[in-house]
Amino acid sequence: MRSIGYGASSDASRVGVKLIHPTPAARNMLAADPPPPGEGEERSDFRMTPLEAEIRRIIAVDGPIPVAQFMALALGHPVHGYYAARDPFGARGDFITAPEISQMFGELIGLWAAAAWNEMGCPGRIRLVELGPGRGTLIADALRAVKVAPDFREALAVDLVETSPVLRQRQQTALAHCGVPVSWHASLADVPEKDPLIVIANEFFDALPVHQVVRAESGWHERMVGIGDDEKLVLALHPDPILNFPAMLPANLGTAPIGAIFEWRSDALVTDIAGRLVEHGGAALIVDYGHAGSALGETLQAVGSHSFADVLERPGEVDLSAHVDFAALGNAAMRAGARVLGPVTQRQFLRELGIETRAAMLETAAGARAAEIDAALARLTEAGPRGMGELFKVLALADPKLGALPGFG
């Protein structure tokens, strides 16, 4: 096995890096159960996962791989990837997401979709596409809520974009009696290009591979994963700067100091969504944790069993995610001709959709369990380390012919 060969620059990549959020609350894992005793000691034992063995083989043959490729393998490898073989959600899983916290989240998104369909002029056929539906909870809650709009339900066909066989199974169970046709696809590209569409993506973009580039004297260098002299996986910079990278950087980041890190994702998916909206009509709703404006800083993080881990440790067994750059998403969608609304905070979006009224209704019916609904409401809408209200943002993309959409002021 050969060594990475860029050893000298690996330390440079850690110099002067400013975190956007020094205390990340991503995926709300902090509010979940604490790790069991002894977890910490187990972590430090060296145990190679099957995916790490495979990544080492790839590096041995081809040389170091970009962080984005490492993340894509860690999450999406068809056999050993994090999502391939496990259901990571819920109080016992690695993290908990908004639809798993409360039925109110999916219900309100269902009503938002019905309002968007109305705004589109109530087309007789509409595709409701969800990217990365997890356990299928959001879409099941949404479909139940839109029973109040029978014409919308009648026009609906649901398309779920999901790569994980385990989660597809969960989704099938969740939607077994939903009364609407449902199809599964491995990517958005496989969803037929006809009919207007409404796209929903909750905590999907944060799982898409992120590139890290680091500013050095010689320019911006891609951050790579290689094998260090101690035989462990190591982060290091590609020896050559990326040509013309400064021209690709958002204008507000032009004066980045040496050692600064910038994370970026491919625009391909959001460009595809926006292009479909412009051509066939419709709207998309993207909810995720991240920042409204492009910013410097490293946000890639690993979470396993409710605690943070090293991003290079136990690939395939810990979740990797990174903040979503909403400015980058919005700009790409606008370039493709779509109208962009937001981002607004999840708190603003859910409040405008009436989450407080919905919570009060549920509480009246819940009797002794009313406090649970109150706690869920707080968790979805409040700021602070346990709340998702401010860290999570909501962005809508729309066919420019559409009028106002609820939730965006």
Task: Count Cβ neighbours within 10 Å for each residue of 305-315 and write b for 16 or more, e otherwise.
Answer: bbbebebbbbb
Binder of ligand SAH out of 66, 93, 110, 133 (CB under 6 A): 133
Q: Does 376 bind ligand SAH (CB under 6 A)?
A: no
Q: Does 49 bind ligand SAH (CB under 6 A)?
A: no
Which residue from 69, 24, 20, 25 is spatially nearest to 253, judged by alpha carbons? 20
Q: Does 381 bind ligand SAH (CB under 6 A)?
A: no
Q: Does 70 bind ligand SAH (CB under 6 A)?
A: no
Which residue from 207, 70, 67, 60 is spatially nearest to 132, judged by alpha carbons? 207
Shortest approach of ligand SAH to residue 277 CB, angstroms? 19
* Centroid of chain to Cα 282: 21
Shortest approach of ligand SAH to residue 164 CB, angstroms? 4
Binder of ligand SAH out of 9, 13, 97, 102 (CB under 6 A): 97
**Binding segment for ligand SAH among 7-15, 51-59, 126-134, 366-374 (CB under 6 A)?**
126-134
- CA-atom Rg of the chain in angstroms: 22
Q: Does 102 bind ligand SAH (CB under 6 A)?
A: no
Residue nearest to ligand SAH (CB): 132
CA angle at 284 for the pair 72 and 191, rounded to the nearest 5°: 60
Site residues (CB under 6 A) for ligand SAH, limited to 167-196: 167
Q: Does 313 bind ligand SAH (CB under 6 A)?
A: no
Shortest approach of ligand SAH to residue 100 CB, angstroms? 6
6 vs 326 by CB, closer to ligand SAH: 326
Binder of ligand SAH out of 9, 13, 28, 164 (CB under 6 A): 164
Shortest approach of ligand SAH to residue 299 CB, angstroms? 16
Q: Does 284 bind ligand SAH (CB under 6 A)?
A: no
Q: Does 203 bind ligand SAH (CB under 6 A)?
A: yes
Confirm if 55 and 225 have CB atoms less than 8 A apart. yes
* Centroid of chain to Cα 189: 18
Shortest approach of ligand SAH to residue 192 CB, angstroms? 17
Binder of ligand SAH out of 4, 207, 327, 341 (CB under 6 A): 207
Q: Does 28 bind ligand SAH (CB under 6 A)?
A: no
Q: Does 90 bind ligand SAH (CB under 6 A)?
A: no
Confirm if 108 and 353 have CB atoms less than 8 A apart. yes
Binder of ligand SAH out of 13, 28, 103, 202 (CB under 6 A): 202
Confirm if 386 and 379 have CB atoms less than 8 A apart. yes
Shortest approach of ligand SAH to residue 369 CB, angstroms? 22
Positions that interact with ligand SAH (CB under 6 A) = 75-76, 83, 89, 97, 99-100, 132-134, 138, 161-164, 167, 202-204, 207
